[in-house]
Each structure stands twice: as structure tokens, then as C-alpha cells.
Structure 1
Amino acid sequence: MSFNYIRKIPSSEEIINELPLPKELAKIKEIRDKEIKDAIERKNDKFIVIIGPCSAHNEDAVCDYTSRLARVQEKVKEKIIIIPRVYTNKPRTTGEGYKGMLHQPNPNEKPNILEGLKSIRQMHIRAITESHLTPADEMLYPENYTYLKDVLSYVAIGARSVENQQHRLTVSGMDIPVGMKNPTSGDISVMLNSIYAAQHGHTFLYQGWEVKTSGNPLSHAVLRGAVDRYGTNIPNYHYEDMINIAKEYMERNLSNPTIIVDTNHANSMKKFYEQPRIVKEILYSRKHSSILKDMVRGLMIESYIVEGNQKPNENIYGKSITDPCLGWEDSEKLIYYIAENV
């Protein structure tokens, strides 16, 4: 057979019962979820900053980083909602390379999905325990969301997943904000179609059940730049790009029209150190357009303790083993800059 069945994976209910979220943390998440939802629904004026490493591969470093964010959050809480990126799934263009902690709890060892599910849930809970910040993760596999549904305050749908029917329909049953990225081609209509689908209810097959969803009005756009057929990165964070996208967005008559801008990936041409400059340009554009002031309600920033990236076997604490990230000192300064200029 083409499939070799390795082991039966416990249900999400079984894993959650084994590693429960304490009640006091569930209350913290409830409060945080409302604050983030209110920002998307324009019930508060707070700006969202989703920030953290490209991929979370080391629990100690991730929790250290998230605790640092918590100290900064306290200083900027009147202006900014910080959502830590704790991304445990890593899409790979060719299928090669490290696929995230879900696959490999230890990046230098063989994949183990069962241990990966436990490891990522444990890491998320520890990060919330130590920081009282509730995290974001990428939903690379729709069926895996249920293992983290009680700990995540934000979910991203990546550029390679945004046109997938199961991703769209799964988002329609979620009750937290979900950012739908533009595809790698940059086709904005794909992203807007995904948002439309996610905001409406559907009946479909999910985890062995026929389910019916009511739609997720908190789903929204994430701009991450594009790549043309020659492999050239094409940013879409400039003033004219955002204005054109905002107009197309409004023509669709979607709920809570919101844009989050990803400052890395194709927008930075994978030059992580350009992120502060890009952030400054976006904030400048918001000041010169009432449309952008209203619709651009947050940023995604790739950041970690040590700037740059490394190979998995180098074992440098707090340094990315996938895409390069902004270092902590520059990140902290950037968050304060954002708070002063939103």
C-alpha cells in the first residue's frame, strides 16, 4: 500500500483532557479574545501586532521570548494588542525541510506526530501561563485545529492554503479572528473569495462528521507580497497597493473589512532587517488616508531573541531555524515606535 499506518492518533478531546488549559488561563483567554474581537469590529481603537519567530522549535526559547513580549505589552496596552506568534506548523514549498514542531518535537530527530501534538499543546499552555498573552498559530492542517482550539486567539491561513476549500470551510466554523493571506501569486481576488467563503456558513465533512457552520465575520485579509513567475518578490504594502486592495475589499461588502500587513516574506523580499522600514511606511500611509487608517488594523512581524537564522543542528538559543527574524532589541524598539505612531 501507498500508506503505511504508523499509529492511531488520539482524538482532540483525549489530548485536551490529558493536557487541559487551567480555568484561570481560560478566563484570561476569554478577556483577550474579546479585546482582539473588539479591535476587528471597531469597538476599540487598539492596533494589533502579531509578532514572533518564523517557527517555534524550542519551548524554552519561545516562552522566554513571549515573556519578554508580556513586559512590553504592559507598557503599550493602551495602544497595542500584542499577539505572540507561536507557529508550530511550517509549510514547505517542495515538501522538503523542517515542517514544524507538530512533525518534529526535536528538529534533529525523526518525525513523531503524536508527541508533536502533545508538545505543541504543552508549549502553548506554558507560554500563556508565563506571559498571560494568548497566541497565534498557522492552520496548515484544518483537522489539527481542534487540538488547539481552546488556546489560540488568532489563526493565520497561509499563502499556499488560502485557496483550499477545507481551510475556508473550517474557518467558517471558528469564533476567533482568522487572517487569510493573499496567495503567492498575489491574486487579491483569491484572498477576497476566501474571506467571503469563510464569512458564510457551510455544510461539509469534518473529522468524520457532517457539520454545519454559521460563518466567521472576523475573518479578514493579510497582505504578504507576491512572487512572479520568475521568482521575483513583489511587495503589496505600498500606499497605492493598499488603497487599491481596500477599494476592492469594500466593493465585496464583507463584514469588518480589515487588513493586516505581513512585513516579512515577499513584502521584505525576505530581507528581515527591512521590517522596521516597512512598518514605518505603513504607519505613514495610515496617517495620510482615512480609508487605510480604518482598514489597516495590524501588522505581522517575524522576530526572535537572536536575529537572523541558523541550521537546525547549530543549537543557538533563540535563533530561527527557518526564515531569518528580527532580533529582540530591534523588535522591542519597533513595538514602542508603533505604539507612538498608530
Structure 2
Amino acid sequence: MQPLRGPGSSQDNDQQRLSQSAVYPETVDVNIRQLDPIPAPRLFIRDLPLGSEQIDLVLRSRQEIRDVLHGQDDRLLVIVGPCSIHDPKAALEYAGLLAQAREELQDRLVIVMRAYFEKPRTTVGWKGLINDPDVNGTFDIRKGMWLARKTLVNILELGLPTATEWLDPITPQYFSDAVSWGAIGARNTESQVHRELASGLSMPIGFKNSTDGNVQAAADSCYASSFEHHFLSVNLDGQVISVETKGNPDCHVILRGSAHGPNYSASDVHEALESLRQSKATETSGYGLLIDAAHGNCGKDEQVEAQVVEELAERLAAGKSGILGIMMESFLQGGHQSAAPLSELTYGQSITDACIAWDRTRELLERLAAAVSTRRERGMNQKREQA
């Protein structure tokens, strides 16, 4: 028997023999119920393309974020929006309000909307718009992927840049062109797959401290992601490919608290920056990091979250260094509700973590902008005194 030439063979008999003998049904897909083909990323992009103004917004906002992270822009980066998007209509209404706030406060804040479509779960639960867009257990992932891209395109049309969490390593091929900032969550901070992914993504990436509060893992991720990597992935045509990345110089740490409590104090910030410096991460480590006012920093209580933002604003106004940006979970309605089909839900209220109501969010954004103004005045006064 002649050896098989492999998948690239041009001989029909070899291809037939390969298909018949190279994979044994008895040993694969034992726990798979169904395999549903999903169109290649290029088809989604062709169906929902970005216009020239949207492309310009993505490129411009990515550079603005980089400038903040590298200490070249004294504005505050604010990543704000729903914990996760389950209703594109409500998300778009929220985006309209946030776009207006961005325009009015753009001299002091770089506002980017959270547009999260994948939710990591500690055990089980609703895993996001992509996984189950109808929130009813039908898991129409093809529909979910289309809705996710459509939502991003619509938000960009309002002049508002977007941010998301990268969970599945294939997802970025479908809509990363529409995203200005990305996060790697606490559960994936130590994942080699996500470090490799971050090294090739085209936008700044924030790594959250791990769920147990370990900041060093996030610092190490920033360091690892700044290097080139080689790994398997898929291209826009859905073909399996070998990827060689250049490394991402714009990775940074996010303090999000832990199961043991918050970690946004001045001493926590100082220790996190020291971990970054010791890990020799990237040049952004010398300027500061982001603080997530939600999750472990507020115990998932939206009232406490608002208080955390107010405390951070006071520290910014006092001239405290090390904080380059803040993350907030916010939606039209405050609080949260249990997941259910759209017809059974309160409009504009989160079905994952509790969110700050829009009216309160607007107050907090104005307070953060005022803090940046005060910080600038303080800095100018100090320069005058030194002169």
C-alpha cells in the first residue's frame, strides 16, 4: 500500500483514500450532537461593510486611545456601556445618548462604548448575543454573529467608537475591523491562546487581573503579547492558516477587583505599576493603567460602582497619577434582570451584571470631565510655581 500524500495531493485516488481512512468516525465527535456551518468572515464583511467615515473613526479613535496610554494625551479614557448587549435596539438607543455625551466632553474624555457580545461564565448561563441571540436556548450563532457586526456598524454610524471583550479566538475575524479597544477578561488573562491573539490584534488591548486578584499574570500577559507569535487560526475566507504576528505594543493592565475585594486604591495602583515595570511589559507601563469600577471593585452593586467612580474622580482632581482610564457598566435602566426572551424583558435593562442607569451615568461622565479640568489647572499652576 502506497503512503498517502496528504491533503495537498493532486491525485484523486489518494484524496479518496484519505477521506475514507484518515479519520475514523468511531473516535471523533463522540460528544457532538450537531455541526452547523457558519459563513466565512468575508461574507459578513461584504454584507455589512464599513464606510469611509466609519473606517476613519476606528483608526482615529484607536490612535487617541494609544496616545492616552502612552502619556501623549492628558484626557481620560472611559470605556462605558452595557455589561453585555442582548437587545440591539436598546443598545443603539443608548449609543445615541452616549455619542452626544462624547461630543460634548471630547476635550477631556475619550469615550468608547462597551459592545460586549460574548460572556464568559464561571459555571453555566447565557453566553452572549453571538451564542444565543434570541435568549431562548436556540443558539442561532449565525444570526448572533450577523447581529453583532450589524450592531457595531450602527454604533459607528453615530460617530461612537466601540470596545469589546475577546473571548473566542475566531470571533475577531468577523468584526475586529469595527472595534477600537479590546479586553481580555480575568478568566483568560493567563491563557496562551489569548496572549497570542492579543499580539496580533490591531487595537490596544487591556488585560484584567485574574479572578483571584493576581495582577502579575496580567502584567506578564502584556509582556508576552508584545512579542511575535506563531499559531493556528482562520483567515477571512474561513481557511485554516498559520499566523505570524508582530507583537502588540499597546497592551495594558486593568484592575477589576477580585473575589477577595476591591483593588483600586492608590496603593493597589502603585503595586500594579511596579509589577508592570518588573515584568518589563511595554512602554505603556510607565504611565498608568485602567480601573474597572464594576465587578470585584463594587461587588457587582451598581450603587457602589457609582461611588467608586466618584472616588476615582476625586483622586484624578487631586492630581494622583497612574490612572489613565476608567471602565463603567451602564445601560438605559439601572440594575439587572434574569435572562429571558426579549418579549418578557424590561427594555434597556441588563440581563447579566447590574448596570448604572443612564441619567446617573451622565452625571458621572460630567464629574470625570470636571476632574480632568481640575487636574489640568493644578498642573499648570505647578508649572508656574516652578518657573
Normalising by structure 2, what TM-score?
0.83
1:137 and 1:158 map into 2 onto residues whose CA distance is 10
2:339 and 2:210 map into 1 onto residues whose CA distance is 28
Corresponding position of 1:236? 263
Query: Counterparts in 2 of 1:72-83, with a 5 A limit?
Result: 72-83=101-112
How far off is 1:312 after superposition? 2.6
Q: Which runs of 5+ in 2 are unaligned?
A: 1-29, 235-239, 373-387
How far off is 1:120 after superposition? 0.5
The letter of the residue matching 1:334 is: L
Alpha-carbon displacement from aligned partner over 1:265-290 (angstroms, at most 9, x marks no partner): 0110111111222123223334556x
2:237 matches 1:205 = no
The letter of the residue matching 2:303 is: Y
2:314 and 2:184 map into 1 onto residues whose CA distance is 27
Corresponding position of 1:21? 50
Corresponding position of 2:356? 326
The letter of the residue matching 2:293 is: T
CA RMSD for the aligned pairs? 1.4
Moved more, 166-175 or 102-111: 102-111
Query: Counterparts in 2 of 1:1-342, with a 5 A limit?
Result: 1-94=30-123, 96-129=124-157, 131-207=158-234, 208-227=240-259, 233-253=260-280, 254-257=282-285, 258-286=288-316, 293=321, 295-313=322-340, 314-342=344-372
How far off is 1:211 after superposition? 1.3
The letter of the residue matching 1:209 is: I
How far off is 1:157 after superposition? 0.5
The answer to whether the Cα contact below 8 Å between 2:82 and 2:115 also exists between their aligned partners in 1 is yes
Q: Which runs of 5+ in 1 are unaligned?
A: 228-232
The letter of the residue matching 1:223 is: L
The letter of the residue matching 2:250 is: L
The answer to whether the Cα contact below 8 Å between 2:313 and 2:367 also exists between their aligned partners in 1 is no
The answer to whether the Cα contact below 8 Å between 1:238 and 1:281 also exists between their aligned partners in 2 is no
The answer to whether the Cα contact below 8 Å between 1:261 and 1:299 also exists between their aligned partners in 2 is yes
How far off is 1:4 after superposition? 3.1
How far off is 1:250 after superposition? 2.1
Moved more, 331-340 or 160-169: 160-169
Percent identical among aligned pairs is 32
- Structure ID, larger Rg: 2
Give the secondary-structure state (helix, strand or coil) at the position aligned to 1:116: helix
Give the secondary-structure state (helix, strand or coil) at the position aligned to 2:112: strand
The letter of the residue matching 2:94 is: Y
